[in-house]
Amino acid sequence: MTDTDITLRLTPDELKETLRLADDLRRRGADILSPEDMRDIEALALDAYGHKLPARDAKNLPLCRQALLSAVTFAEMVDPDRNILLAILLQPMHNARIIDDDFVLKRWGDDILSIISGIEAVTRFSNRNNATNQDNFRGLMLALARDIRVIIVMIVQNLVLMRSINHHPDDIWVRNVAFEANYLYAQLAHRLGLYKIKGELEDLSLKYTNREIYTQIAHKLNATKRSRDQYIKEFIEPLRKRLEQEDFEFEIKGRTKSISSIWNKMKKQKVDLPGIYDLFAIRVIIDTPRDREKTDCWKAYAILADMYTANPARMKDWITLPKSNGYESLHATVMGPGNKWVEVQFRTRRMDLVAEKGLAAHWRYKGVKGDSTDQWMANIRDILETAEAGPMQLMRNINLDPTAKEVFAFTPKGDLFRLSAGATVLDFAFHIHTNVGAKCTGAIINGAHRKLNYQIQNGDTVEILTSNNQEPRLEWLQIVKSARARNKIKQCLNEQKQRMADLGREALMRRAKNRKIELDETLMMKLIKKQGYKFNLEFFADMGADKIDPGRFLNTYVEELNREHTEEHVSAEGFKINTAETEQQSHDVLAIGEKSINGLSYRFAKCCNPIYGDRVFGFISSDGIVKIHKEDCPNAANIKERYPYRLINATWSGKTGNVLPATIRVIGNDDIGIVANITGIISHEQGAVLRNISIDSNDGMFQGFLVVGVVDNRQLTSILKKIKGVKGVKDAIRM
């Protein structure tokens, strides 16, 4: 190739930038690139870009500058790794066949050749613009790459490309690149914890796909920058002083959220820019030893909450439970000066490095815990937790082959699904939808009928067969391979069991009503435990399946009830009214008996736990204490029938304020955080106190009993309504 074959040369500005990038790379690579590395790379580059390679690619972007930009950006934003940087610089020359595999292998080694080959394979696939289904495209891309380092390189190269195409004349191509950046590379960056790259990719994508919106938001932010910066300064200063008084070593940064994030909030909240309440984000970065990280972050938060009113609903604790990609931070939203909401993030130096550098920063700290969003990521995490060297050196010895653990199959319409290796027809059906899985009877695969346990092969075309008469079975748990399908089957089985339990409970209540027996939930649970059942759900499901006779159980219940009342019986002449000072007195919230009777002591009956506002009556017990029952107490009918001479009037005096206990029974799905959401409702209810909580969990369902101190029955009704509104709660009733 002669000089006449070379297309457009570099402009003076492009040449100047290229030389600056080369100097920057020498500086960043001084500790990892040997003089021989630098000498050989520079010689190859001068020869290739000066005589053999075109100065620009097909889209008129300078090839040498793009390669240098990718290397410098990788070193700056991820990790200055020798093999990665050399592979980035060599790949354009290898792709153009200026250097071949043997040359790279002999001079640079098999690891660099492997990275180069991976980059080229993924680049060819990416250039097909086949990114309509991003999750599946990502899976195929990972299958091609076989090396996590290649994926990180592709993310960085995409960022460099996005930075380089502003006002590019090929508008359709720019929009396609922006689409791929947003829905593929930004999501991969998020999974790897590369948040800075993710945010910039999303911003640039919005800029190229909706420049008008991007420009409007950018202009509005610029117009208010001075006042916003002043506000952030005023917010930070008192917080800084308080933290210094507590001897914290820290750094505080203030920033405005990204344009793409603001636009997403505007769309979600359906408001204009002034209506976004958390434009500001303050980051407090604390210098503290590893063993004091959580303590100091929470202590700093306590200082903030003492200064400003916090919004508990906006609290995000990723310190106790880090994100799947290793991100750790404590996010709080408080009402700052001028009634403006401000988000404040508390993290340590280590946490900040991981948040900024993502996965590549994990090696710097031993003992980093974190779950992976993909199974193949877990292998890398395990090694990084005990790493003594950089992550790229460690990953070099890992041959990640996701295709060995995954299969790809199609629906008759051509949709591509990714499943775990060994996945069966039943796994495929539940992957489509829970209802499809629950009704699945088999499949037609590549034109042939297959049973539920047939294992899907790569490239299979799968048509699921269903029947309305089909229901999930316990043995299905032995067929499926994926955790998702197994959880869905358990959920269906639990729902079946719940329906059967509802039938059993309904049969018992109907039989009790016919026999005019008011059931006491506490006594009934006691008898259920005596019969060997750990969970009420199991008992009532067996009753619904006719394994337990409701009539026989009621006979046992009546015998136990009579025994308890017989122990309490005394004659009319045998009791005295107790006026001991240790009991609650009638002068606080209750008026008992006639006005002429004073000093009566009382207790609230545990069988019904009356609270202020309930219709109540008094029953004088054998020890002379008046027991206060609800009028609709399960034992009320029996007491009034057997002991009418021991009844006494009781009414509320009108003096509220006393907190009385009420028992709430909650049934729902055993989802992560559901119990915290329920208890959070109670803690935020003014005057209410959570006194006790008991939770039974079984196969994805839970049953809880909460003893809550409330002011009156109206407050209890409000709490019940809010609990029923929690996602995953099926029912909440007062016992």
pLDDT of residue 372: 33
Q: What is the mean pLDDT of residues 607-619?
A: 84
3-class secondary-structure state, position 447? coil
For residue 99, being part of any structural domain is answered with: yes
Q: What's 102's domain CATH number?
A: 1.10.3210.10
Dihedral sign for Cα 194, 197, 203, 207, please: negative
For residue 234, being part of any structural domain is answered with: yes
pLDDT of residue 521: 74
Could you read off the pLDDT of 108-150 as tens digits, one per residue? Answer: 888 888 888 888 877 765 544 444 444 445 554 554 456 778 8
For residue 309, being part of any structural domain is answered with: yes
Clarify whether residues 230 and 346 are in a common domain: yes
- Closest by CA to 250, choosing from 258, 259, 242, is 242
pLDDT of residue 161: 93
Q: Minimum mean pLDDT among 203-207, 458-462, 717-721: which range?
A: 458-462
Mean pLDDT, the chain, integer: 77
Clarify whether residues 123 and 148 are in a common domain: yes
| Cα–Cα distance measured from residue 715 to residue 712, given in angstroms and rounded to the nearest whole number | 6
Point out the domain boundary residue: 209, 232, 266.
209
Which residue reads 């090839």 in tokens? 63
Clarify whether residues 187 and 237 are in a common domain: no
| Burial grade of 419 (CB within 10 A; 0-12, 13-18, 19 or more) | buried
Show the tokens assigned to 695: 């939770």
Q: How far apart are the first and last CA of the chain?
A: 88
Could you read off the pLDDT of 630-669 as tens digits, one per residue? Answer: 888 888 888 888 788 788 888 877 655 577 888 888 888 8
Dihedral sign for Cα 56, 60, 64, 66, please: negative
Point out the domain boundary residue: 146, 179, 209.
209
Amino acid (one-letter) located at 13: D
% of the chain at pLDDT higher than 90: 11
Clarify whether residues 642 and 665 are in a common domain: no
Helices marked H in 279-400: 293-307, 349-357, 375-384, 391-395
Q: In what order do the strands lie in the sheet with 616-620?
A: 584-585, 601-604, 626-630, 616-620, 647-648
- Closest by CA to 524, choosing from 488, 490, 561, 472, is 561
For residue 575, being part of any structural domain is answered with: no
Show the tokens assigned to 98: 């200026």
| Cα–Cα distance measured from residue 135 to residue 257, given in angstroms and rounded to the nearest whole number | 27
| Phi, psi dihedrals of residue 20, rounded to the nearest 5° | -65, -40
Torsion-angle region of 729 (φ positive above 0: left; ψ -120 to 50: alpha; else: beta)? beta
The strand ranges marked E within 55-195 are none
Show the tokens assigned to 43: 């010689």
* pTM of the predicted model as reported, rounded to 2 decimal places: 0.48
Q: Is residue 425 over pLDDT 90?
A: yes
Clarify whether residues 668 and 616 are in a common domain: no
Clarify whether residues 563 and 696 are in a common domain: no
Clarify whether residues 145 and 259 are in a common domain: no
Look at the chain and report how many structural domains it folds into: 6
- Closest by CA to 79, choosing from 23, 28, 26, 3, is 28
| Cα–Cα distance measured from residue 592 to residue 628, given in angstroms and rounded to the nearest whole number | 10
CB atoms within 10 A of CB 401: 13
| Cα–Cα distance measured from residue 230 to residue 224, given in angstroms and rounded to the nearest whole number | 10
For residue 11, being part of any structural domain is answered with: yes
Which residues sit opposite 23 in a β-bridge? none
CB atoms within 10 A of CB 11: 10
Clarify whether residues 548 and 678 are in a common domain: no
661-to-637, 689, 691, 724 alpha-carbon distances in Å: 23, 9, 8, 19
3-class secondary-structure state, position 534? coil
Show the tokens assigned to 442: 């088999």
% of the chain at pLDDT higher than 70: 79
Query: Is residue 482 a contact partner of residue 422, using CB atoms and an 8 Å limit?
Result: no
| Cα–Cα distance measured from residue 729 to residue 673, given in angstroms and rounded to the nearest whole number | 12
Q: What is the mean pLDDT of residues 676-688?
A: 79
For residue 487, being part of any structural domain is answered with: no
For residue 374, being part of any structural domain is answered with: no
Query: Is residue 381 a contact partner of residue 362, using CB atoms and an 8 Å limit?
Result: yes
Point out the domain boundary residue: 534, 568, 602.
568
Q: Minimum mean pLDDT among 37-46, 188-197, 272-281, 615-624: which range?
A: 272-281
CB atoms within 10 A of CB 510: 11
Could you read off the pLDDT of 457-504 as tens digits, one per residue? Answer: 877 889 999 999 888 888 898 898 887 788 888 888 888 888 888 888
Q: Containing domain of residue 691, as a range?
A: 660-734
Clarify whether residues 476 and 528 are in a common domain: no
For residue 451, being part of any structural domain is answered with: yes
| Phi, psi dihedrals of residue 631, rounded to the nearest 5° | -60, -30
426-to-140, 204, 470, 589, 710 alpha-carbon distances in Å: 23, 42, 13, 61, 49
Clarify whether residues 117 and 187 are in a common domain: yes
Helices marked H in 329-453: 349-357, 375-384, 391-395, 425-432, 434-438
| Cα–Cα distance measured from residue 435 to residue 447, given in angstroms and rounded to the nearest whole number | 23
| Cα–Cα distance measured from residue 120 to residue 99, given in angstroms and rounded to the nearest whole number | 14
Query: Is residue 52 a contact partner of residue 94, using CB atoms and an 8 Å limit?
Result: no
Could you read off the pLDDT of 284-294 as tens digits, one per residue? Answer: 999 999 889 99
Q: What is the mean pLDDT of residues 503-515?
A: 84
Query: Is residue 116 a contact partner of residue 104, using CB atoms and an 8 Å limit?
Result: yes
Query: Is residue 82 a contact partner of residue 31, using CB atoms and an 8 Å limit?
Result: no
Q: What's 441's domain CATH number?
A: 3.10.20.30
Of the segments 375-384, 689-698, 724-733, which one has the largest average pLDDT value? 724-733
Clarify whether residues 57 and 109 are in a common domain: yes
Clarify whether residues 196 and 149 are in a common domain: yes
| Cα–Cα distance measured from residue 229 to residue 227, given in angstroms and rounded to the nearest whole number | 6
Q: Is residue 156 over pLDDT 70?
A: yes
Q: How wide is the angle at C-alpha 276 spanned by C-alphas 275 and 282, nearest 5°?
A: 145
Q: What's 678's domain CATH number?
A: 3.30.70.260
SS3 per-residue string spanning 614-669: CCEEEEECCCCCEEEEECCCCCHHHHHHHCHHHEECEEECCCCCCCEEEEEEEEEE
